[in-house]
Amino acid sequence: MKKVGFFRSIHLKFVIIYVLLILIAMQIIGVYFVRQLEFTLKDNFKTTIQDRVNLLAYYLEEQMTKVRLPDDETTEEEDVYKLLRDFYSPDITEVSVIDDSLKILGTSDPDNQGVVTQRTTDTLIRMTLATAQQSSEDRIDRRGNRIWVLVTPIKHNGEVKGAIYSVAKIETVFQQMRQINNIFITGTAIALAITAVLGVLLAQTITRPMSDMRRQALAMAKGNFSRKVKVYGYDEIGQLAMTFNNLTKKLQEAQATTEGERRKLSSVLSYMTDGVIATDRKGRVILINEPAAEMLNVSRETVLSSPIVTLLGLEDDYTFDELLAERDSVILDYSGPSNTLILRANFSVIQKETGFVNGLITVLHDITEQEKIDMERREFVANVSHELRTPLTTMRSYLEALADGAWQDKEIAPNFLEVTQTETERMIRLVNDLLQLSKMDSKDYRLTKEWIDIISFYNRIIDRFELTKQRNVIFDRRLPVHAAFVEIDADKLTQVLDNIISNALKYSPEGGKITFRVEEKLDMIIVSVSDQGVGIPKENIEKIFDRFYRVDKARTRKLGGTGLGLAIAKEMVEAHGGEIWAISKEGKGTTIFFSLPYDARTEEDDWE
């Protein structure tokens, strides 16, 4: 898992949130405090100015209502200037007195005495004289400082005698506000710094257990359940740490149980002879065991995530939804020109109690051998029925002819009886061969083995056929002159050689040659019989040892064959631990080989 950077950690986020909360709170408090302070300072400042101006208005009222005599030493303007000069305030920059005719009677500004006796045009003074009400206005002087202009009426017995025009330096109030703001900002910065330090310390008390739990979760993800989260206290975070440790223990137990079940399932799947395929809810392969991969001749890595209908070759016949609804087995035929493979697929839906489908389990059974056995059984029954029906039909025809009076014909009756006898013997041979095969299939027979010189044994059988042969066929013996002892059942091997040599005589032409050979190997001895008959086509050479198989059926029946001789020979040779095979060329003849276990060294030790 990627490590969390400092700028993305909850530690920093917690400190930032904590500081922001403090900052917002202080800003809200500061804005409210500054506004209220500004209002209060300005109100106090204006009230102070108004009180002083009202006092001045009282003195000016007496002065302006005073009766002047011709012999007065001072003029009205001089008396007003004297009052204004004595009127001093550090917050008031200038005070002027205007009579009811808008004439300026005096001003406190020594540098502005030229305006005395002049008429003013100030609208604020006009409005005050007209309304007899005090009026004020905030302005900006030439230097860019804020000033407060206050015009106060001078009344006598309710009649307006003039007005006092005062200019106050309200900029000092804003200077005080700026100083207070600077103090507040400095205090806020100091408070935030202290808050940030405290926030870091507080965040560590919260994030340290969380960091431990994160490291524990990473260790658990890697399969390490031995670590424990340190419990720093018994508050909510401490209880969370204890719960996390308990969860770790439960997960360790659950993981051990799951691992055990997984190993059992893996072992079951590995040692199953049947193929198993599992899919997700969309029909994609998520599991396939080795037998299934071998049956389908695919790689487990390449088929994962592929659709199961494509894997099984059912995309033309089924959709995944149809497979989910399939209740019967589906036969899959993967047979090719050189091999046969038939599988039976059974489908089982993985479904929750709510009915939600999680996937599909497919079990593949290899029924190739079963199908072969069923096919051979059907062919066997058909062949036996056919082989028995032919002589029985012939016998019934001849017996019906005899019953109809042919037995009285001295020329026809013996021929009919001879054919009936021949067909009866043929059925007896067929039944005997079937009984022999049945015993061998059911293992209801025993080999009575003894050590026999195969060379002399082979010569005796050849001598018997050479004495009884009725055709002009040459026997060519190419056998070793020394003895070669093998452990065999003489009766069973005699039957094998009788069947092979009988076939060679049947298919050999007049004047043809049959060659008999014995070849010694280190661990086996190979016996062969070669003829110069019509041969066997290449595509049929592997089938001549099957039951009831005939290359030339018409000729075989004519010669009295049942089609079981080589099949019996194969069973008996394999019962001795050997093999039997054939090679042939059409028009040039056939050679039948069979091998028997043989150890020349053991034979020399035993028979010296």
Q: Tell me: the pLDDT tens digits for 531-544?
A: 988 888 887 787 78
CA atoms within 13 A on the CB side of 172: 10
Within 442-471, residue ranges assigned H as helices are: 454-468
Residues 29 and 170 in one domain: yes
pLDDT band at residue 216 using 50, 70 and 90 as cut-offs: confident
Q: Name residue, tokens 């009788």.
A: 498
Cβ count near 210 (within 10 Å)? 17
| C-alpha–C-alpha distance, residues 54 and 38, integer Å | 24
Provide the pairing of β-strand 159-168 with 146-156.
antiparallel
pLDDT score for 373: 74
Q: Is the pTM of this model over 0.85?
A: no
Q: Does the residue 206 lie in any domain?
A: no
Residues 457 and 397 in one domain: no
Q: What are phi and psi of 333, to 5 degrees?
A: -105, 110
Q: What are phi and psi of 362, to 5 degrees?
A: -115, 125
Q: Does the residue 360 lie in any domain?
A: yes
CA–CA distances in Å: residue 68 to residues 79, 164, 437: 11, 21, 169
Sign of the alpha-carbon dihedral angle for 108, 112, 118, 123: negative
pLDDT score for 44: 87
Last residue of a domain, one of 110, 144, 176: 176
Residues 172 and 290 in one domain: no
Residues 525 and 585 in one domain: yes
- Interval 90-95 mean pLDDT: 82
Q: What are phi and psi of 244, to 5 degrees?
A: -65, -40
- Interval 467-493 mean pLDDT: 87
Question: How far is residue 572 CA from its own chain's centroid?
Answer: 56
Residues 340 and 319 in one domain: yes
| C-alpha–C-alpha distance, residues 443 and 437, integer Å | 10
CATH of the domain at 98: 3.30.450.20
391-415 tens-digit pLDDT = 777 778 778 877 777 777 777 788 7
Last residue of a domain, one of 149, 176, 203: 176
Last residue of a domain, one of 365, 383, 398: 365
Q: Which residue has the higher pLDDT, 76 or 518?
A: 518
CB of 108 closer than 8 Å to CB of 95: yes
Lowest mean pLDDT among 149-158, 267-276, 598-607: 598-607
Residues 319 and 401 in one domain: no
pLDDT score for 579: 92
- Interval 155-179 mean pLDDT: 84
Tell which residue, 567, 465, 455, has the closest CA to residue 506: 465
Q: Does the residue 526 lie in any domain?
A: yes
Sign of the alpha-carbon dihedral angle for 406, 410, 412, 416: positive
Q: Does the residue 519 lie in any domain?
A: yes
CATH of the domain at 525: 3.30.565.10
Provide the pairing of β-strand 275-279 with 146-156.
unpaired
pLDDT score for 40: 86
3-class secondary structure, 588: coil
pLDDT score for 562: 57
HEC string of 63-77 equals HHHCCCCCCCCCCHH
Lowest mean pLDDT among 23-37, 70-84, 444-458: 70-84
Residues 91 and 148 in one domain: yes
User: Residue 182: is it exposed, middle or buried by C-beta count within 10 angstroms (0-12/13-18/19+)?
Assistant: exposed
Q: Does the residue 21 lie in any domain?
A: yes
232-265 tens-digit pLDDT = 777 777 788 888 788 888 888 888 888 888 788 7
pLDDT band at residue 67 using 50, 70 and 90 as cut-offs: low
Residue 398: CB partners within 8 Å, gap ≥ 6?
Answer: 416, 419, 420
Mean pLDDT, the chain, rounded, equals 80
- Helix, strand and coil content of the chain, in percent to the nearest 5, comes to 55, 20, 25
pLDDT score for 9: 65
What secondary structure does DSSP assign to 113-159, as a single string?
Answer: GGGTTPBP--HHHHHHHHH---EEEEEE-TTS-EEEEEEEEEEETTE
Q: What percent of the chain has pLDDT over 90?
A: 8
pLDDT score for 211: 76
Q: What percent of the chain has pLDDT over 70?
A: 87
CATH of the domain at 389: 1.10.287.130
Number of H helices, E strands in the chain: 16, 17
Residues 356 and 455 in one domain: no
Which run of H or E residues covers position 107?
strand 104-107
3-class secondary structure, 15: helix
What secondary structure does DSSP assign to 516-565, as a single string?
Answer: EEEEE-SSEEEEEEE--SS---GGGGGGTTSTT--SSHHHHHHTT--S-H
Residues 358 and 396 in one domain: no
Q: Does the residue 243 lie in any domain?
A: no
pLDDT band at residue 595 using 50, 70 and 90 as cut-offs: very high
118-133 tens-digit pLDDT = 888 888 888 888 888 8
pLDDT score for 439: 66
pLDDT at 109 over 70: yes
| C-alpha–C-alpha distance, residues 61 and 159, integer Å | 11
Q: Does the residue 1 lie in any domain?
A: no
pLDDT score for 380: 66
The residues with which 526 forms a beta bridge, in sequence order, are 519, 595
| C-alpha–C-alpha distance, residues 545 and 572, integer Å | 12
pLDDT band at residue 1 using 50, 70 and 90 as cut-offs: very low
pLDDT score for 4: 47
Q: Does the residue 258 lie in any domain?
A: no
pLDDT score for 263: 82
Domains held by the chain: number: 4
Residues 486 and 601 in one domain: yes
pLDDT at 433 over 90: no
- Interval 566-580 mean pLDDT: 86
pLDDT band at residue 580 using 50, 70 and 90 as cut-offs: very high
| C-alpha–C-alpha distance, residues 166 and 50, integer Å | 10
Tell which residue, 104, 107, 148, has the closest CA to residue 122: 104
Which run of H or E residues covers position 95?
strand 92-99
CB of 152 closer than 8 Å to CB of 57: yes
| C-alpha–C-alpha distance, residues 236 and 230, integer Å | 14
Q: Which residue has the higher pLDDT, 454 or 398?
A: 454
| C-alpha–C-alpha distance, residues 44 and 99, integer Å | 29
pLDDT band at residue 557 using 50, 70 and 90 as cut-offs: very low
The residues with which 350 forms a beta bridge, in sequence order, are 359
3-class secondary structure, 232: coil
Domain that holds residue 59: 11-176
Nearest-10 Cα torsion for 591, 594, 600, 602: -170
Q: Which residue has the higher pLDDT, 527 or 342?
A: 527
| C-alpha–C-alpha distance, residues 444 and 307, integer Å | 50
CB of 139 closer than 8 Å to CB of 107: no
In 198-301 the beta strands, taken as DSSP E runs, fall at: 275-279, 285-288
Residues 323 and 352 in one domain: yes
C-alpha angle 105/111/117, rounded to 5°?
A: 20
Residues 339 and 484 in one domain: no
pLDDT at 8 over 70: no
Lowest mean pLDDT among 134-143, 180-189, 527-536, 598-607: 598-607
